[in-house]
Amino acid sequence: MQLYFIRHGQSINNENAANNVYKENPDPFLTEKGLEQAEVLAKYLKENQTITNDKSWNSQNQHGFGLTHIYCSLMERAAMTAAPTARALGLPFAAWKDIHEEGGIYAREKDEEKKGLPGKPRSFFEKHIPELNLPTDLDESGWWNRPFESDEERQPRADRVLAELLARHGDREGQPEERVALVSHGGFFMRFMCSLLKLPWRQGAHDMRSWFLLNNCSISRFDISKEWGITVCYLNRTDHLPSHLISE
C-alpha cells in the first residue's frame, strides 16, 4: 500500500492562531486561502494522477500518483479540502470518523469549555458534498455527540486507524497495489506517526519535545509492505503550492 496523508487547507482557526481576541470555532471552515489551496491540490493531483512508468520505484511520484481511494474526516475543513480532489479524480470517496483531529468537536467558551458538541449533520454533507460516502449511522443529530476526547483515548484511536487501513488496503497476493489518501489533521498526524513508527509521544533527544510539522494541504507519503516494511518517502511536501498559498 502507498499511503498519502494530506492535511486540510487553512481554516479560520489557523488564520487567527496569533489573534489573541479571536474565539476559536469548534468546527472551523476553510478560509478563502484554504479553498484555493484545496483547488490547487486537486488540479495538481489530477494532472499527475496517471502512472507513466510502472517499471521503476516511483519514490517521489515523478511518474504520477495513481490514487485509488480517498478518505476524509467528518470535520468540515477536512471534508471540504478532500472534495475537489475526489471530484477531479472520480475515486471512491468516504468519510472516516476516526481520522478526526484530537479532542473532537467541543466548546471553547469558558462556561462550557470542552463540552462535547454535535458536529455537522448528514444534511450538511449531502448538500455540500453529495458524492461523499457517509457512515450509515450519521443522521441529523450530528456525527460527534460525545464528550471531549481525552488524552488517553487518542493513541488507541490512531492504532485502530492503522490496523483498519492495513485490513482494508494492505497488499494482497495477485492484487494491484492500492494507493490511499487520508485527508486529515496535524494533531492526528502526530499520533498516527507514533502508531506507524512506534514512537514515544512527543519525546525527542536531550529531553526535548518533538513534533511533525505539517503545512496546510501538504502531502506526506508512506509505503507499507510485508516485504520492505514501512518506508517514509517524504513528509510535508508543499512544492505543488505557490509560495503565497503555503500556510500553517
When pLDDT is averaged across residues 10-38 and rounded to a whole number, the result is 96
User: Is the pLDDT reported for residue 52 higher than 90?
Assistant: yes
In single-letter form, the type of residue at position 45 comes to L
The C-alpha cell 518533538 sits at 210
Q: How many residues does the chain have?
A: 248
pLDDT in the model for residue 39? 98
CA–CA dist 197, 229 (Å, integer)? 11
> pTM of this prediction?
0.97
C-alpha cell at 35: 479553498
pLDDT tens-place string over residues 126-178: 999 999 999 999 999 999 999 999 999 999 999 999 999 999 999 998 899 99
CA–CA dist 244, 85 (Å, integer)? 20
- Which residues pair with residue 133 across a beta bridge? 94
- Positive or negative: CA dihedral 139, 141, 147, 149: positive
- Which residues pair with residue 220 across a beta bridge? 5
- Domains of the chain: total: 1
User: Is the pLDDT reported for residue 26 higher than 90?
Assistant: yes
Q: 15: domain CATH number?
A: 3.40.50.1240
The pLDDT-based confidence of 111 (bands split at 50, 70, 90) is confident
When pLDDT is averaged across residues 38-45 and rounded to a whole number, the result is 98
CA–CA dist 116, 112 (Å, integer)? 9
What is the extent of the structural domain holding 45?
Answer: 2-245
Distances (CA, A) of 6 to 28, 67, 176, 179: 17, 13, 22, 13
